Structure formats: C-alpha cells, structure tokens
Chains A and B, each alone.
Chain A
C-alpha cells in the first residue's frame, strides 16, 4: 500500500518538486541593513520645505509604518527636475547583492511613475521606477544581481525624478534596504578549483627503517591544497602562522612517538621537558603567493625559514604577513612551503601523525 502510494505518479511529482525547490531555492541568510540619505549632491532641482532636501526624507521610519508627511520634497510639476542624494553606508561588507529603494510618497495623479536611479563611482549604474498613488503610500524599486564592493557602496547616490510633466510628485521618506555579505578575514585550504578541502593535510615522504637519523620532507600548499587567505574586511593587517595543536608539548603520535620541536642535532633528545627527539622546519620563503585576479602582492611578505624549538619557545612559525599597504577585498593563495622533519635513528616503522592549526589573526 505504502509502496503503491510512493510510486503513485502524483506523489512522485509532488515529491520531486518538493525536493527540487527545497534544494534549489537560494538561501536567504544574507544580511540586510537600511541606509538613508545623508547629504544633497549638486543635482537638487526639486522643491523642499527646508534648505537641505535630504533632511526632509531621511526619517528613521521603516515600511509599513507611515512616514512623516509634514516635511517632504516635490518636483514642482516638472518632469525634468531631478533630486540626487548621497547615502549612508555599511562598513566592512564583502559585497552588496541587492538594494531595495523604499519611497513613501504620492503624486497629483494616481499611478504616476517616478524614476529611481542608482549612482555609484560617480555615474549612473542602475535605473528603476516606482509607481506613486494618489495618496501617501509605500512603494519600492528593487535592484537585484548587484555586485557592489565596499567602495561602490560608499559612493552610492540615489536620484528621483517624475516621469510625466504636469504631475507633482511628493516624497516624504526614502531609504535603501541593502542586502549584503559581511566581510571577514579567513583562511582555508582549497583545491585547484577553489573549493574548500574537507580534511586538509600535509603528506610527508615515506621513510624506511634506518639505524641513522633521517629526514622526511613534504610541501604545505600543494596545488590541490592551496592555503587561501581571504580578506573582505577593510583592515589590511594580519599574520598567518602554523602551530601544533598541542603547543610546545606536542609530538608525532605513533607506535613510538618522536618530537617536532627538539633542537638537538641528529634528532637526539635535548634538554626539553620530554624524552623525544626530532624537529620540524618550515621554509615559507620558498613559497609562492598568487593573488586573486585584479589584486596584487603589495605589502605581503613570506616568513623566513624556521624550526619549531621548545627550548627557544618557537611554537608558532609565520608563513605570511601583511602590512597597512596590503589590499583588502582580495584573496591570496600560498603554495610551496617546504616542510622538513628530522626523524630519530632506529625509529620503528609505522604510521605517524601530528595535528597542526593554521591561524590567521587580524592585528
């Protein structure tokens, strides 16, 4: 019976549509913030009840709550008159993807179309319209598919103008609801296509049992596991470093442990707190930084070749760091950091592992 029900065409159709919409419907978790007019530009041709026009329409009210109608701006019945305002901004965005301009107004004739245009970087970028009714009401123009950067949003201006001569357009309140992705500083290990690697690791060269101490080598930041630093904040200073999860007392875990931070020669045990030998060295200076297209490596520097050393308290090795002159809203891929681990003599054959953490810190 259940089987029949499942195989029923209608059920299957509904099920498939359900799955399709559930999975395919875009996520709606992006952030929204309202920005309001905060200044007049040189294009101010409407009539205002005050000297500055933007102060008449920058009320903190949000739709559907009615705006204050005692102060407003109007086009005086001339379609060619344009009012253009500078807008507030949102700090540290990665990208603004949608702007909805809400207008609380009316026109002398019902259903009068009013142009609402977006300017940024000093020029007209997007055109839209709202339809004003014969009495005050909220209406909106939606601009989707935007890819505004922080600087684009910082320079955003909104203009309004009536479309029909002889009709007077009144606007009491105007604001823009901006949908954006918050900027963040992050580090990740990504594959050659830029997709996050679920279990990143550094493979070290295999070694056979040896009566002498030996070295195993590897590369952190292979082409299939690139270290990607992404900074979509407005702050350029950060440091990228690698440390063992267990700190200075950590070690390579296996049938017989060995150390990662003992500076004694020939991978012998030194005067540190444990009785293990072995030391790991990183050489970031041989690495390569590849910037995102359109970005540069200005202000970035690779760390120098260093070894973990418990006795000298070297528990963290800098891979890369930035300065105040480094770009923001960019990512960089670091590849080719060579890793060398000295292994004590007569280390039993087996599988060994150590957990390390890659940290990026805004500083």
Chain B
C-alpha cells in the first residue's frame, strides 16, 4: 500500500517536473519572440547638438593631415547575444544615386583606409550596446572637397553553404569628411523621361547630376499638372546627391480613372553656398533649377475605359434614336394623308384599317386618352391600303434597309405589340363613376370600364359627323414634331 502510494507520488512528481520543463521551454520561446524589438545597428557616439544629422552619420571638416577622434555605438536590439564585426569601407555609388559601401574584402583607398577602430569585433548581449572609439586620419595629400565612406556593422557568422543566393545583412553609417579649399556646389538637370509600365501606369524619371566636389542635400520635386497648369501631384523629397554622381529618381504615376494629358516639370532646389555643411539648415544662397515641361498621355484605367465606352455607346444610341425619329417624322409629313373621321371611326378601327399602330396614330394626331375621335375630325393617316399591307408598312420595310431604319422597324413592331387603348364613352364613365361613388368609393380605380367580351375598346362618336366642305388644315411640321 505504501509502496503504491510512493510510486503514484513519484509519477506525479515526474509529471510535474516534465510540465515545469515544458512550461519553461515554451515561456522561453514566447518571451524571446515578444521582446524582439529590432535588429542591430550603430550610431555616432558623440553627436553635435547644433547639427541633428550628426545623430545618424559622421560629419567633419578637417584639414589634410589632421586626426579626428570619434566613436560608434554598436547596438544589439535583438533578443540574442551576437558577435559583430565592425569595419570601415570606402563609399561606392549604388544605382539611382543611392549611397552604398564597398565590401569588407575590397581594397580601401579612401575613408575606409583613414579610419582606425579601437577594435573590430564586439560581442553584445540582447538589448545592449557598446561604444567603440576610432580615429579618422586625414592624409596630407588629399584632394579638396567631400570624401565619403562608411563604418559597417555585420554579424559574425559562417556563410550559408546552400545553393542559390545566400544573403547576409549589415548596417552602415556614412562618414563624410570635407577638406576645405575651393568648394563647388553645383547641380544640373536632364529632361524628365516618361517610361510606360503597362497600359495604365508609367514612371517619370528625373536625373540630377552633381558636378561639384561636395555632396548636396537637394530638394527634388517633379510637379505634375493638367493642361490648365492646375497642380495634380508633386513627387519628391530631400535627397543627398553625392559628389560626381548622377542620381535618378523614379516616380510612378497611376492612371486616373478616365486618363488625361498631363504636364510634368522637374524642380530642384539646393544650397549653393560653398560654406554650407551637411545637416545644417537655413540656406544663405538657395538655387532653384527647373527642367523643360514635358507633356504625356495617361490612359484611363480599365474601369474608366469601360465607363467611357458605355457613355459613347449610349450617346450613339441616343443620336440614332433622334435621327430615326426625325426621319420618321419627315416621312410621315411627306407620305401620310388627310382623312376626315366618319361616324363609327375610333382609334382602333382606324389603326386596323390603316394597319398602323394606334399609338403612332394617336401621337401624330395629338389624341389624348380616352382617344375620342369625333365625326368630321381631320386626321392624318397612312396612305391607302395596298393589298393586305398599306404603303406605310411597305415603306417602313423599305426604310428598314438601312441601319437606322431597322431600328425604326423594330420600334414600329414593338409599338404594334402594345395593347390597344381602351376607348370609352365618356357618358358611361360618368354614370359609372356616379354609381361607384354611391356604392364603393374605392372601386373607382378598378378596371370597371374594361369591355367584358371584346378585347377592343368600344368606340364612341360624340355627335353626328359634320361634313366639312372646307379642306382640313394640314397639321404643321411643328405640331407633328411636338408629339413625336
């Protein structure tokens, strides 16, 4: 019994032990991930209060032969203890006017050779830093102007042996040493180039050449405006352009929905004062140079293109419709004849007789619901019947040969399919309304007037047809136009 108890206790204990170990490992992993803030890097150890740029780069003016004492703070903001190699290297230009540093293995001829660090390796705990002092020994025979180089911090670890491109990372700080003398600060511009990147995207490319002997912190702008010179967008920023370098800046222009024609101009502003120092603000001799404006077309986006095409098609449709109406109106004016209504004529009977849509007939003759036709009314009707079909229909077919009139034909056919109007006796309406009012007011809107047996509405002739001996006046073009 005691043995069993002891065994159970031991098992429980080992389970607890295992649990603690697992929790510990888990906590370590979790904690490690949680505290990681950023990578490793460096900063100048002795920045100057009067120049904020000295918080990130080393800036000095020194005569030939002079030695400058400096220091770099190597910072490890990772969650691991890391060993770093710290070294100086010469400047090399990168593409697009970027600042880059030569490799550890490459020859050092400039600042890479001038800098001597107190030590080249440092091991740092997580979230810690160390300052490494160094000196910059300016040679006696150095050329006047600005000289650039780097101090780099790179993790010390064996290279990857895997196939493909293995990547290592390093962080550098620019070292800019200016040798006094005849300092030239001069920039020149080339025209903006427009490079297409597909149908609805393009790149504006501006190149700035530094023809002086010092780097120039330059305010680069590409101003894009419409044809009325209204500003659309300004690209740019402040970039350092290095000595004897050509910096190219690319800005992507995305198409506006409906596309447009634009104008672009490059504008560059810099301090032309030879005594100006990197990072010191307040230019005493600001110089602005501009490129010639260039004009370019930006195509619409697919969405915009779809909208534009839709609008164009809609406008074409409207135009065709108007043309057809005009043609039909002209044709009616030319071909329809006058007709004096007789007793028993109504809109339906005339429509049937002349094989024409009742709506067209009503419109042409300005008839309004309930489409009452009095005996003796002068109406315009299609020409006389010719066999089963009248001339009007035949002519419509003829007209339908061309494109416009095909639509007319379709419209005519469509009109024919529309239900015939309900033509009623107004007296009946009155009586009906009266009886409805007396019995059930709500039934006034019900289709009480619908003929029970015959689908066609009853025709109604208000009075006897009065024969008009005088020839009826022909409706004017304006009158017809107003109703079609």
- Residues of A participating in the B interface, judged by any CB pair closer than 8 Å: 9, 12-13, 16-17, 19-20, 23-24, 26-27, 29-31, 91-92, 94-95, 181-189, 193-196, 199-204, 218, 220, 228, 230, 232-235, 237, 239, 241, 243-247, 285, 299, 301-304, 306, 314-318, 321-326, 331, 339, 351-363
Contact = CB atoms under 8 A, between A and B. Distances in A.
Contacts of B128: 29-31
27 contacts: A19-B24, A23-B25, A91-B55, A92-B43, A182-B73, A184-B39, A184-B43, A237-B238, A237-B240, A241-B94, A247-B103, A301-B237, A301-B251, A303-B95, A304-B96, A316-B94, A318-B95, A323-B236, A351-B163, A354-B165, A354-B166, A357-B154, A359-B171, A359-B172, A360-B171, A361-B100, A363-B99
Nearest to B33: A195
B167 A202 contact: yes
A357 B170 contact: yes
Q: Which 10 A-B pairs have the closest CB atoms?
A: A323-B237, A184-B41, A186-B39, A235-B56, A318-B98, A324-B238, A316-B100, A361-B172, A202-B165, A29-B128
Interface stretch (B13-21, B334-342, B380-388, B429-437): B13-21
Nearest to B248: A304
B394 interface: no
Contacts of B36: 194-196
With most chain A CB atoms within 10 A of its CB, the pick from B79, B104, B250 is B250
A27 B40 CA distance: 17
Contact of B99 (A30, A239, A301): A239
Nearest to A352: B163
A186 B171 contact: yes
Contacts of B73: 182
A195 B80 CA distance: 12
Contacts of B236: 323
A113 B55 CA distance: 41
B71 to A, nearest CB: 14
A94 B39 CA distance: 12
B53 interface: yes
B150 interface: yes
B39 A230 contact: yes
B174 A362 contact: yes
B249 interface: yes
B28 A23 contact: yes
Interface string B200-243: 00010100000000000000000000000000000011111000
B93 A199 contact: no
B167 A285 contact: no
B180 interface: no
Interface string B168-182: 111111100000000
A193 B33 CA distance: 10
B103 A243 contact: yes
Contacts of A235: 52-53, 55-57
B171 A239 contact: no
Contacts of A304: 95-96, 203, 205, 248, 250
B240 A186 contact: no
Contacts of A91: 47, 55
Contact of B41 (A185, A194, A353, A358): A185
Contacts of A237: 56, 238-240
A201 B167 contact: yes
A352 B162 CA distance: 9
A195 B170 CA distance: 17
Contacts of A359: 100-101, 152, 169-172
A316 B98 contact: yes
Contacts of B13: 9, 12
Given A196-B36, A363-B99, 18 more contacts: A23-B27, A26-B31, A30-B128, A94-B77, A182-B75, A184-B171, A187-B171, A220-B167, A234-B55, A237-B238, A245-B159, A304-B250, A306-B95, A323-B238, A353-B165, A360-B169, A360-B172, A361-B99
Interface string B1-33: 000000000100100010011011101100101
B166 A199 contact: yes
A58 B25 CA distance: 46
Contacts of A196: 36, 39, 78
Contacts of A17: 20
B240 A189 contact: no
Report the contact-size class of chain B (Cβ under 8 Å from the partner). Answer: 35 or more
A184 B27 contact: no
B167 A182 contact: no
A31 B126 CA distance: 11
A186 B40 CA distance: 6
B24 A20 contact: yes
A299 B106 CA distance: 32
B138 to A, nearest CB: 20
Nearest to A331: B38
A26 B107 CA distance: 44
Contacts of B102: 247
B167 A324 contact: no
Nearest to A205: B164
B436 to A, nearest CB: 71
Given A199-B160, A361-B173, A245 B168 contact: yes
Contacts of B239: 237, 321, 323
Interface in B369-417: none
Most buried by B among A95, A220, A316: A316
A115 B101 CA distance: 53
Nearest to A194: B36
A11 to B, nearest CB: 11
A315 B101 CA distance: 10
Nearest to B249: A301
A324 B52 CA distance: 12
Contacts of A325: 237-238
B247 to A, nearest CB: 10
